[in-house]
Amino acid sequence: MKYITGSQTMNLIKAIFVLLILFLSPINTEGKNLFVSDKSKSRIVLTKPAAVTGRIDLNKYYSNKRLGSFVEDGKTYFRLFTPDADSVTLVTFKRPEDKTGTEYPMHRDINGVWEASIEGEHYGLFYGFKVFNPKYPSTKNVICIDPYAKAVASYNTYFTPRRSIVVNENDYNWDGDHWIQRDWRDLIIYEMHIRDMTADPSSGSDKPGTYEGLIEHGIKGGIDYIKSLGVNTVELLPAQEFANIELPFEDSLKGRYNTWNPYERNHWGYMTAAFFAPESYYCDSKMEWDKWEGTSGKQVNEFKDMVKAFHKEGIAVIMDVVYNHLSEYEFGNLKEIDKDYYFRLDKRGNYLSESGCGNDLKTERPMVRRMIVESILYWMKEYHVDGFRFDLAKLIDWQTIEEITHEAKKINPKVILIAEPWGGGYDPAGFSLRGWASWNDQIRNGIKGENPFNGPGWIFGKWYGNNNPGRIKSYVEGTLVRDSLGLFQKKEHSVNYLASHDGYTLGDFIRLGIGAVNQDEEIKDVDSFVKLTPLEMKLNKLAALFLFTSQGITMFQEGEEFARTKVIPYDEEVPDTNKGRIDNNSYDKDNSTNYINYKHAEINSGLVDYYKGLISLREKYAAFRRAKYEDIKFMDIKDNPFALGYRLDYEDEHFVVLFNANLDKAENFNLPEGEWIVLANQNKAGIKQLGEVSGNVELLPSTGIVLKLK
């Protein structure tokens, strides 16, 4: 991996030179200060005013024609929707690095679709479009990517020039594979990053950080490890082609000034560039600057191999998708194709940025809506993807949400649809009314806390904000609207989680919350630091026990099962002043901060086993997944607001679940009549009997227990 760490002036000259030789002219940089850079809330400065947009009604344009490139009747067709352009030229290239290509004029129909065709079946051909709009004359020589490109070659530098590739679709042997159609109540989701799972040497992979490495058998990491946990669903961080590279650090390029990212990278992938194409970086996992990547197009079949391999193990695949904004750091995409049509703009023509990422897509436009819906359907049909988690879904208009639901369920009635229910607002209830699940930040903030410094949650024996015993009970029941405190019409609309890619890991949150480390402390020995103290182990187990016994969909983050830490390494040739500290926003780090270290899983194997046991418990006993609201009866506990107990009766299964989140005080619980088998306590969890109790049971501070009627 190459990082640019020399003269920033040479960086600037080099980047501009690359853009010039690839016919990339300066775009109109518009507006005032905007927040950009995925998840980073960092500020860049855009220095020039924009042209005022025209007043033509662009919503009137709509077409049902097949878009993108495709082969039909011995010809290769190319179609692009851009109603505001004066002319469009198709440019084809024998090699992506060619500075000039063969140009074909395209012809416009009355609905704003431009078309050209070439005799023959030109699979593997590289191509792009030149779009001329007199309102934005400086972009006339930019080679634009096809928004419907099924595979993309990308040049690894700032602003990432790209070439679309003509792909032969529907030629993959699925060997009888089909969608995994699972009741949402039964989902146990593992949120993971494709590269993270095998990039660390501890994974043992021969192809680290790749699609192939992820499904390699007989190693410590990847699919065998995921299968060993017992999860039945993986949620992949964005894997549609995205912008991997950000701007020169502490230097200006075309009006942007990078003060926030010394790594000059985007690791998580929330900067989508091509909504129909799989990310090519996960093929060879080599980020070589000033090199073309994805030219072979093999990312298409390798993504399918990955999905098929997970399905073979009974594991469903959810994609994290970003349709609320487009990648900011590139030329030659929707911004240059038709800025006025595809983006939300203010009256001066400046991009709106409620996403915090510089350029919000205008999802309410008919042809933007069509593109989003067709992208979802394409990943379902062509890649057998089982579901989707929508980033900042509140920025997608309701009509588009409803059309996604309607069309996706025609293909797979049990398709998984999950919203991140914020972005220009917050409305999990609105998504629930439309049949979608949402990430439940109430349970996250209530159980773990909002932040480890002055916003600790229930597991710390503290109340923060409006958290209270009534809310804790509502989380057990699925955070339902019938509780008056809840959000969801159905419990399977609640995605219960305690940590995700955003923010601190659960393990680090607990370390910081109890004062075992402070946020400015430098950690020299990560292997020693990650090893849990007795108190840390208790709190991690308490949090997990609550999560896995609550009604709703269960989700946890990669590495949460061993209290993963995100310490920024010292061995990077990058001017990061936070090396050695815990990272709470690791979106920019393609290094050991994010990689799963399987040595750490061995160090905290007791917690890994606890998670495995809880997963098997939830899997075996439907009461923890399918109990009705009336099946849960809470105990009346005096003088300890952090003690919680309830009886759970589902069909012929009878359980008692008890928690004592008080950090200092033991709690004695009176049990219902009968002999009760211990299935989970502060030490172990699972489906094997750990002992028997009757009459009453005492819980030590920060512990819980699950009992089953004998």
% of the chain surpassing 90 pLDDT: 85
pLDDT of residue 55: 56
Residue 299 in this model has a pLDDT that exceeds 60: yes
- Least Cα distance to 245 among 266, 263, 262 occurs for 266
Strand spans (E) along 196-268: 233-236, 252-253, 256-257
| Per-residue confidence (pLDDT) for residue 641, from 0 to 100 | 94
Give CATH 2.60.40.1180 domain extents, the chain: 629-709
Domain at 58-165: CATH code: 2.60.40.10
Residue 8 three-state SS: helix
- pLDDT-based confidence at residue 256 (cuts at 50, 70, 90): confident
96 by DSSP, 3-state: which? coil
Q: Find the Cα–Cα–Cα–Cα dihedral 574, 580, 586, 590, rounded to 10°.
A: 50
pLDDT digits (tens, 9 = 90+) for 56-80: 799 999 999 999 999 999 999 999 9
**pLDDT (tens digit per residue) in 423-455:** 989 999 999 999 999 999 999 999 999 999 999
What are the residues facing 258 on neighbouring strands?
Answer: 249
Instruction: Assign a CATH topology to domain 629-709.
Output: Immunoglobulin-like (2.60.40)
- In the chain, pLDDT over 70 holds for what percent of residues? 92
**Is the model's pLDDT at 580 over the cut of 80?**
yes
| Whole-prediction pTM | 0.92
d(CA 215, CA 234): 13
With a cut of 90, say whether residue 253 has pLDDT above it: no
In the structure, what pLDDT confidence band is assigned to residue 330 with cuts at 50, 70 and 90?
confident
Mean pLDDT value of segment 495-507 = 98
CB-CB contact of 72 with 169 (8 Å):
no
- pLDDT at position 484 is 83
Report the mean per-residue pLDDT for the chain: 92
Residue 594 to residues 193, 432, 560: CA-CA distances in angstroms? 9, 32, 12
pLDDT in the model for residue 485: 81
* Residue range 688-700: mean pLDDT, rounded: 97
Residues facing residue 657 across a β-bridge = 646, 706
Alpha helices in 526-604 (DSSP H): 526-530, 534-549, 598-603
pLDDT beyond 50 at 33: no
Range(s) of the chain covered by CATH 2.60.40.10: 58-165
